[in-house]
Amino acid sequence: MQKKYVAFFDSGIGGLNLLAAFRKKYPDVPCLYYGDNVNAPYGNKSREEICSLAFAAFGKIARKPVAAAAIACNTVTACCAGQLRAAFPFPVAGMEPAVRPAAKRGGNVLVLATRATMESERMQKLLHRYSQDARFTLYCPQELAGEIERAAPDFSRVDLSFLPKGEFSAVVLGCTHYVFLKDRISETLSCPVFDGILGTADHLYDIANICSKNPQKKGKSALIFLGKAKNRNKTLYFSLFQNKQTFIMPQKRTKTDKNF
């Protein structure tokens, strides 16, 4: 039986967080990663350009045998997840902003996301759905994803002075790039930070239906990188996560919002 991959797509390095979480929990599943670092970041681009770039990337991913794919980018999920699901023959999971578990804490929840994500109809509906549970402070740090992309692997170089002042009950990271700063943001604002990484990883495994289709021997499985920045992404992945899991913190699994 032909080996099928679980694919991960992001505008750059942010999706490596999701890839690492998935591989840590499901090490027997073959994976591939496509990072469009050349065009990163996506967050300040027009919706039309974001969708065009995403479809071009998925077209290349689809040339491989794929069991399921993750849009490991909140911006692309918010702009064209539905269109990608309709256009390709394999299941596609979107990256869910972890608004639901953060809102359960009540109080004032800070939501950090790119402009394209924050302005999307999907995000606005999600925030409205939980507006009775908490109030939301919305902030779009325009250059942050790009700064993280350039700073890697030394994320301590990223300046956090942009963070809004105030007391927050929780923070929602609406961009997978921001997850590299999760611990620092939590320490700076003295509150828990939610990213949705583990919930998305579990949902991706469920829709891939791996157990019935591709049983694997226990141990390390295949991992390939695609795209013009494949060597950089591969190097970063192994330096940041292999045998370290530095940025992956245990979190209770949360129910995936079906709109994402």
Domain segments of the chain: what residues? 5-95+197-240, 99-194
Q: What pLDDT score does 6 carry?
A: 98
DSSP state of 191: S
- How many CB atoms are closer than 10 A to CB 49? 14
DSSP state of 255: P
One fold for 5-95+197-240 and 99-194:
yes
Query: Cis ω on the peptide bond leading into residue 65 (within 30° of 0)?
Result: no
Q: What pLDDT score does 42 carry?
A: 98
User: Cα–Cα–Cα angle for 199, 92, 242, nearest 5°?
Assistant: 55
Those residues of the chain that have pLDDT short of 50 are 212-217, 245-254, 256, 258-259
Q: What pLDDT score does 242 carry?
A: 80
Write the pLDDT tens digit of every residue in 20-75: 999 999 999 999 999 999 999 999 999 999 999 999 999 999 999 999 999 999 99
For residue 73, indicate whether it is catalytic.
yes
Q: What pLDDT score does 102 carry?
A: 98
Sequence-distant (6+) residues with CB within 8 A of 69 are 6, 7, 8, 9, 58, 61, 88, 90, 91, 92, 93
For residue 51, indicate whether it is catalytic.
no
Catalytic residue among 31, 79, 80, 175: 175
Q: What pLDDT score does 98 carry?
A: 95
Write the pLDDT tens digit of every residue in 161-171: 999 999 999 99
Strand partners, 93: 70
Q: What pLDDT score does 210 carry?
A: 64
Please state which CATH number belongs to domain 99-194. 3.40.50.1860
Q: What pLDDT score does 219 carry?
A: 54
Cα–Cα dist 103/127, whole Å? 9
Catalytic residue among 31, 73, 140, 191: 73
Strand partners, 110: 137, 171
Q: What pLDDT score does 96 carry?
A: 85
User: In 3D, which of 137, 134, 126 has the Cα closest to residue 255?
Assistant: 126
Cα–Cα dist 218/26, whole Å? 10
Q: What pLDDT score does 259 carry?
A: 42
Please state which CATH number belongs to domain 5-95+197-240. 3.40.50.1860
